[in-house]
Structure 1
């Protein structure tokens, strides 16, 4: 989410040159991830064919969580490197902000579901979005909602991020900028969760979290550690090596063949690597998915340079602004995705309706991002009120008298 601003003049532990400004590509990819998640979460949406979901073993969830960790690291290093313990109260405050956004999103979505039932006479939103249990058993479900024990569909990413934010605050207080510690912790917890089956449940208890936090912490910490290790010379040499680039390209190609996007056209038999999709478990952050995402991220960092024209294009600028306002716009995009259940029920599931709704929602996100940026710029450029002129100080009568003349032989000074 809105992990923080760029690091200015921060010395990296490897002794590399300081970072001067935030890399626009972080916000660009995060903004694009928000749009893709909106399209993927809109029910049976044809526009999801144009997202990473259909061309590989990973999707926008890895992109969003990884970049959230990366951006969080940039902010933590800039603000808390010299006082790491202060990361803990910040993390608690940030987690509470995320919690409020989560509750607000549920209230809005539940209200829309009830209004749609009253207006259209259809309970499709209440049913598909699992709102009905809250309405019929409020006394039971309300406490679970407040304690993140009731997670309706579409409302599962922010609770994950709440836990990850609290976790990283504690870890940074102990690990600071030593990236190998984060890698070791992430791997250890993931292995423990994999073999113990540890996860969290949601109401009713037979439902599990869509994103197992014990597994997905590895994706978040991978982004966090990547920022900390980004200037290690050996790592840069490895990433620039032709063999590594070829390996990443191979992984992406294999992922494309395994995903078999042509299967959506009915060619189900043409899936020679289907076993890879079978083991690419999203709920438990399968290493197959993370490997595929890291390969895509590697190639993207090579082909989309910091000086690329994409950052100055209309599309690039729009995605960057969405990425800068990632938290509120992610919540709004979640509400839009929930609305798709009612919109497609009312207007039909034809692809023109799906395309129109998807593009309209994306344009609204862009407009809100530009509006937020305009307000921020206006507030920053607003002249500060001039300071009131200082009032003259009136001295006491004795202090206001002229100073005595300097002593002379003929006119001695008074005591």
Structure 2
């Protein structure tokens, strides 16, 4: 069995005395040895970005290939879990090697980058919608995308947007990510102390959110589409897995009993979602189960959604090994590149989603046009990821050459 954290390993010891010494001095968390990237994380984060883009478009052929139509969870769970996992992997190492202050400074720098990206996307998104609504004399675009309050009170709305309380349609993920990253230093500090206790505290906050109806308010009314008090559980669980939790669960994940439980749950969720698309099948659903199950809310990360994601993840890490040759396939390269540059590609996807929505609304076309627009968006996202990767690779290569040239000059001068 090779889990998503199968590179995690404890320190090697030679004898009993060395073992006792290591046990006393070893940190509570463990990290994979530094090496090549975990391509499975990049692959599934890239897949999540593609699915989020497709789900933001009007229903089309490709929509039926997204996971939200076949179970309780969707691409958002994948994105938040992997974000927690990768954030803990990157900054957890800084926490262990450089201390709390340095790690916190690095995390805050990343939070600032995400916040700037959110503000930039907000500005471009507003300009895009306003331009289309004005030039095509169709105010319904502004209403449908949730920017009517901005057009009525731009001064107040901009302040609320900077406070993350006002967000147009499809711009809810980045604010959630920003808030979760703000608390990452505390999460990592607790993980360094007691990882299992940290996860238990996250579960307790999740339970309290449901019991006491905790939420963050939004402007002009309502609440956040993704409640951070609930969604933190998925983020913290990802961090916990990255810092040794997945290794400790390896026996459970490799169990055949676990596999069959996961498969049974995924099949049950599939049949339930069938009743949403085929109303005639709803008569086969027992009323008691319906009353217990519904509503399956996304805002507060319903337990059924969380369990569905866990089942998908358990099946995935069981059958998709870290050394699977397909990860090196050129056919999966676009997905992996998108996952490696997730912030830029997510922002691009939000922009393209409204552009595609506008084209579909203004040009009457059938399933073929829907498919072409969806495919075009995916290709543009992949192309942008390739350009970013090429640019960064070229910049790193030039920096290495300059560093080598300076080193050679120093050696020559010293001689």
Q: Same fold (TM over 0.5)?
A: yes
**What is the CA–CA distance in structure 1 between the aligned matches of 2:31 and 2:133, rounded to whole Å?**
59
Q: Does 1:152 align with 2:172?
A: no
Matched residue count? 385
State the secondary structure of the residue aligned to 2:37.
coil
2:36 corresponding residue in structure 1: 21
Higher relative contact order (CA 8 A, sep 6+): 2
Stretch of structure 1 that moved more, 54-63 or 384-393: 384-393
From the superposition, tell whether residues 316 and 163 of structure 1 become closer, same or farther in structure 2 (CA, over 3 Å): same
Which of 262, 278, 288 aligns to 2:304? It is 288
Q: Does 1:254 align with 2:268?
A: yes
Aligned alpha-carbon RMSD (Å): 2.7
**What is the CA–CA distance in structure 2 between the aligned matches of 1:7 and 1:17, rounded to whole Å?**
5
Shift in Å at residue 19 of structure 1? 5.7
1:384 corresponding residue in structure 2: 402
2:54 corresponding residue in structure 1: 39
**What is the CA–CA distance in structure 1 between the aligned matches of 2:328 and 2:341, rounded to whole Å?**
18
1:124–1:345 CA contact under 8 A, matched in 2 = no
Q: Does 1:362 align with 2:378?
A: yes
Structure 1 residues 330-341: aligned runs within 5 Å: 330-341=346-357
Stretch of structure 1 that moved more, 383-392 or 304-313: 383-392
From the superposition, tell whether residues 15 and 289 of structure 1 become closer, same or farther in structure 2 (CA, over 3 Å): closer
From the superposition, tell whether residues 17 and 336 of structure 1 become closer, same or farther in structure 2 (CA, over 3 Å): closer
Q: Does 1:269 align with 2:287?
A: no
2:8–2:247 CA contact under 8 A, matched in 1 = no
**What is the CA–CA distance in structure 2 between the aligned matches of 1:313 and 1:222, rounded to whole Å?**
30
**What is the CA–CA distance in structure 1 between the aligned matches of 2:68 and 2:105, rounded to whole Å?**
36
What TM-score comes out, normalization by structure 1 length?
A: 0.85
**What is the CA–CA distance in structure 2 between the aligned matches of 1:375 and 1:179, rounded to whole Å?**
38
Shift in Å at residue 35 of structure 1? 0.3
**What is the CA–CA distance in structure 2 between the aligned matches of 1:321 and 1:244, rounded to whole Å?**
32
1:413 corresponding residue in structure 2: none
TM-superposition CA deviations, 1:346-395 (whole Å, max 9, x none) = 113632221111110000011111111111222222322734579989xx
Q: Does 1:228 align with 2:228?
A: no
Q: Does 1:78 align with 2:96?
A: no
TM-superposition CA deviations, 1:18-61 (whole Å, max 9, x none) = 46432100000000000000011113344221111001111111
1:8–1:19 CA contact under 8 A, matched in 2 = no
**What is the CA–CA distance in structure 1 between the aligned matches of 2:413 and 2:91, rounded to whole Å?**
47
1:407 corresponding residue in structure 2: none
**What is the CA–CA distance in structure 2 between the aligned matches of 1:89 and 1:16, rounded to whole Å?**
20
Shift in Å at residue 16 of structure 1? 8.9
1:404 corresponding residue in structure 2: none
1:396 corresponding residue in structure 2: none
Q: Does 1:170 align with 2:183?
A: no
1:7–1:19 CA contact under 8 A, matched in 2 = no
1:8–1:78 CA contact under 8 A, matched in 2 = no
From the superposition, tell whether residues 266 and 161 of structure 1 become closer, same or farther in structure 2 (CA, over 3 Å): same
Stretch of structure 1 that moved more, 364-373 or 12-21: 12-21
Gapped runs of 5+ residues in structure 2? 1-5, 12-26
From the superposition, tell whether residues 314 and 196 of structure 1 become closer, same or farther in structure 2 (CA, over 3 Å): same
Q: Does 1:211 align with 2:226?
A: yes
**What is the CA–CA distance in structure 2 between the aligned matches of 1:361 and 1:30, rounded to whole Å?**
17
Stretch of structure 1 that moved more, 314-323 or 344-353: 344-353
State the secondary structure of the residue aligned to 1:375.
helix
Shift in Å at residue 139 of structure 1? 2.4
**What is the CA–CA distance in structure 2 between the aligned matches of 1:302 and 1:7, rounded to whole Å?**
15
2:29–2:195 CA contact under 8 A, matched in 1 = no
**What is the CA–CA distance in structure 2 between the aligned matches of 1:182 and 1:170, rounded to whole Å?**
10
1:328 corresponding residue in structure 2: 344
What TM-score comes out, normalization by structure 2 length?
A: 0.85
Of Structure 1 and Structure 2, the greater helix share is in: 2
